[in-house]
Amino acid sequence: MGQTKPSNEGGVDDNLRRVFQSTLEEDIPDRFKDLLNQLKEQGSSASRHGEDNE
């Protein structure tokens, strides 16, 4: 009772892999890097002042 995939499903799988792989390889925009750095600075500042809410 083995079911076989229709031939077009293999193409869909390959296309999805290509799209996701290209997304993974994209650089993070500078504005996001800046935001992440700001959050890190706020987190380290809060922990130095004993305000860390973890």
Give me the DSSP letters along 1-54: ------HHHHHHHHHHHHHHHHHHHSPPPHHHHHHHHHHHHHHHHHHHTT----
pLDDT given at position 37: 94
pLDDT given at position 32: 94
pLDDT given at position 48: 75
Is 18 a member of any domain? no
pLDDT given at position 19: 92
pLDDT given at position 9: 65
Is 5 a member of any domain? no
If one counts the domains in the chain, the total is 1
* 20, 12 Cβ separation under 8 angstroms: no
| Domain carrying residue 33 | 28-54
Is 34 a member of any domain? yes
Is 11 a member of any domain? no
pLDDT digits (tens, 9 = 90+) for 12-40: 999 999 999 998 889 989 999 999 999 99
* 54, 48 Cβ separation under 8 angstroms: no
Is 53 a member of any domain? yes
Over 80: is that where the pLDDT of 52 sits? Answer: no
Is 4 a member of any domain? no
Is 36 a member of any domain? yes
Is 32 a member of any domain? yes
